[in-house]
Amino acid sequence: MSAGPSSYHSGNESIATQASSSNRESYDYLPLTEWCSHTVDIIRKQFTPETAAFLFSLSRKPAPLRDHSECAQTRKGASLSTVQEPFAKLQRSRLGKQILDSVSQFQKHLQSLNHRNDTNLKPGIRMDSGFNQYAKIIKTQKANLLAARVRKGQIPKDRAPRQVLVHQHMNSYNGMQEKLARSPSDLTWMKTTIVGDPYPPSVSSMATLKKMMINKLALETQHRGSYLLLRTIVPPIIFSAVMTVVEDEMGNVTTFSLYQQEIEASQPSAEILKEGAVIVVKEPYFKTLGSGGYGIRVDHPSDVLWLDPDDPKMPVPWKPTSTKINKSAEQWKKAGNALFGAGEFNAALEKYFEALKSSPTPADEEILHNNIALAYLRLEKYEYVLAETSFIPNPLARSEKSLYRTAVALYNLSRFDESHEILEVLVKQFPESVIGKQDLSRVKLRLEEQMTGKYDFKKTYRDAKLRPPLVDCATFSSRVAVKNTNGKGKGLFTTRGVKAGDLLLCEKAFSYGCREPAKGGAKSTTDLGMLLNLSTNTAIMDTHASQIANVYQKLLKNPSLAPPFLDLFHGSYQPVSKEKVDGKPVVDSFLIERIISLNTFGCPTISKDDIHHDNFVGSSGVWTLASRINHSCVSNCSRTFIGDMLILRASGDLPAGTELGFWYVNPREKEENGAGPREKLSQQWGFKCCCTLCLAEGKTPASKKIIRKRIMDKMMKEGTMSPQLLSDLENTFPYPPSEAPQYDLFSIYYSLALTRYEQCPAVNSAMKFEVSLCVFKALFTLGFEFQGVDIRTGRPTGHGIAFAVKKWGAPIPELALAFKILYVAWKDLEVPVQALDGVREAWKVAYSMVVSGETETFAEHCSKFGELESFLENWRLS
């Protein structure tokens, strides 16, 4: 991780100032001024759990700290001795003062944030236009955008000369190299991306385009019907884009930015647009830069073609001067192998292709195709691998390496049945192949997961400890299907009847952004970034902005993976009609941005470990099946995460053909700045919720809502929950919980259960039954129905009737803890074993629904009763 907030550097200033006035623009590596995970790590390492819990509770309050000691004395539910001791320790140390200052600064920032901390929400921290430097960036960029539109269509006469552009670029290049060399090895970089006016990718065939020159380019214009032939004349720099300077055949020069590229660790920028590369840019977009200069901007890399030296379009003066005379296929192959060993896979491919042109022997030709397949494997171009290994059509005639690389490519395309077939051939033809047998066993596990939904969750937890936490698993989806809905587009439905807690879906993410940097490597780039949208005046700090380039490259490399993703909801955006032109895929980066923005889920790395919610900005991903689930304030399913694996379970007994729903915006959120949960749904997704809760609340008289708010405010302010107030509050809900959950009432009874549990002496059985009564009343407000318990007293009924849940209610995050408190209270009271076992079973089901997604770790969870006391301590402090 980084060395602290100040270590999120801004990149080279001379490049950062060339910010775009339109389209998607990068203010790369802006300082991260918010409370970051590094601060959380320091707190955990340097301070006691009590002090850490106190600091975490402070960071969630959207009000600035005043005098530290005053704040310590006024924390709700915290004794003076509990909080003064941490503050005293903190103020005595330099690090402690820095931490307190960071808390204070973060709280000030929270005043202008809509902080969304529930993992069921769309991810990120959303900021209004008053948020510090980001608001200034939005304001500046919008002004630039308006100014640029005024010049639309103009051909500039004041373009910078060649020597000036080259000098500026090389200063930036050298400055960045020096900064990288001086920066700490654990430095983490964060990117900021700005989205403005979209424009479509080129869908024109090269045969229909006419060549043009740089000096004819018009500002803020996509030059339909034309192409540019360009050569790079400087080494590239990579930020959110790969940036360089290019020339045309007449010697005209301009800056050039290529977006949606892989991170430097995956493919170095010097390999993407190396100096001297010759490219064709189809229907180029020319624009004004924020610095006042001009440049070509490519948001759709499918608009760029790299020319081979032998291409007829290659100008003679630009052809390489080195001669190919007397170079044999073997020499080209060795040159390619050397580059492959150095990790320069694209350069290695060039040599291998030259070798194929140099009359190799049949044996060498097969080796070259296998080498090319391996290079494509490293570049994650799995469909290209299959094209190379099919050089010999009959799998029975292929070499061991060819078969293995075919199987690996199919595996990574999630075509497990085909991978299994190839591996069966491999181990039969080459019985001594150890790796073949290992991968055959692995693919059999994937097929079993795919067919049965049975997973080795202990292994998935081990996978999720890696960075990035990509789990090796298959998707299980036979119990759900995508269908059309009435008025809501497509939705996800059950294909068979299921019981509460049954597994509905285990899905591997199509795209995943991890908030923590990948381990290994001298420098790292976190997926955490800032997305500034000029059209909506919003800023989102999360990880889904980083997924745009990742998804783009995935679709460009493996077009067969595109349909499930591109078919997702994308609002009013109109995609282009063609998927391929001249045999190459057409990929629209603005369509990808729309899909990701509207279909991304925020998620913890491991749900069961995310009990404290310390991470203010989490990871995120796109799951193409789960994204089909429509919003409902009354969820009938619940999702959890293990790395990039989403686990969906039924939260009640559901017949076949039931449409699944969970909330996008937490209906329990309070109104902020005039916007409640329903308003947020309308603002972000453009629809009005018509679930049973919204319909019931719509029919509730305004007078009852006013009384409800008045009572809730009184309870929160005075800390009193008298029987009369509780009765009055219940009367403000004209609908029964069996029709729609009463979330406000749940919060009151749940808080009362926690308070009573804390106050309850070990020997006071009456108070423990009061705890259980509060739990039952809380669950009743969610729509639960039970057998084997007297709901009026919280006691088991006995008479041979076992305790059981007759009807499950809304699956809220506190559900498992509520059953845990009930179990602990009844266990201390020595109720009949039959009743206690029933509660434990309900607890286990709730645990699988809202905590872990599985039941394998439940026994371990049960043994940690100390976690309940730890939770209550944190609850007191917050």
pLDDT tens-place string over residues 55-107: 444 443 333 333 333 333 333 333 333 333 444 444 444 444 544 454 444 44
List strand residue ranges (DSSP E) for 394-545, in order.
480-484, 490-494, 503-508, 511-513, 524-533, 538-542
Mean pLDDT value across the chain: 80
The answer to whether residue 29 scores a pLDDT higher than 50 is no
> How confident is the model at residue 10, as a pLDDT?
27
> How confident is the model at residue 59, as a pLDDT?
40
Whether the Cβ atoms of residue 358 and residue 327 lie closer than 8 Å to each other: yes
Given CA atoms 444, 449, 451, 454 in this order, what sign does their dihedral have?
positive
Whether the Cβ atoms of residue 392 and residue 373 lie closer than 8 Å to each other: no
For the chain, domain boundaries: 5-121, 147-318, 361-373+380-464, 480-682, 735-877
Structure tokens at 503: 């597994």
Structure tokens at 439: 């991968």
Is 480-682 in CATH node 2.170.270.10? yes
Count CB-CB contacts under 10 A for residue 671.
12
Structure tokens at 684: 């972000």
> How confident is the model at residue 676, as a pLDDT?
75
- Per-residue pLDDT of 329-376, as tens digits, reads 999 999 999 999 999 999 999 999 999 999 999 999 999 999 999 999
- Per-residue pLDDT of 283-307, as tens digits, reads 999 998 877 789 999 999 999 999 9
Structure tokens at 786: 């039970």
**pLDDT band with cut points at 50, 70 and 90 for residue 416:** very high
Cα gap 852→456, rounded to integer Å: 14
- If we measure between CA atoms, which residue out of 662, 482, 646, 452 comes closest to residue 564? 482
DSSP 859: H
729 vs 116, higher pLDDT: 729
The answer to whether residue 664 scores a pLDDT higher than 60 is yes
**pLDDT band with cut points at 50, 70 and 90 for residue 219:** very high
Q: Max CA-CA distance within the chain? A: 98
The mean pLDDT value for 502-523 works out to: 80
Q: List Cβ neighbours of 186 (8 Å cut-off, separation of 6 or more).
A: 1, 2, 3, 524
User: Beta 637-642 vs 511-513: how paired, if at all?
Assistant: unpaired
DSSP secondary structure, 801-824, as one string: PPPEEEE-----TTHHHHHHHHHH
Among 100-114, 289-303, 518-532, 735-749, the minimum mean pLDDT is found in 100-114
DSSP 308: P
> How confident is the model at residue 389, as a pLDDT?
96
**pLDDT band with cut points at 50, 70 and 90 for residue 651:** very high
Q: Is 649 helix (H, G, I), strand (E, B) or coil?
A: strand
CATH number belonging to the domain at 147-318, selected among 3.10.20.30, 2.40.50.140, 1.10.260.40, 2.40.280.10: 2.40.50.140
Class of domain 361-373+380-464: mainly alpha
User: Beta 125-127 vs 538-542: how paired, if at all?
Assistant: antiparallel
One-letter amino acid of 156:
P
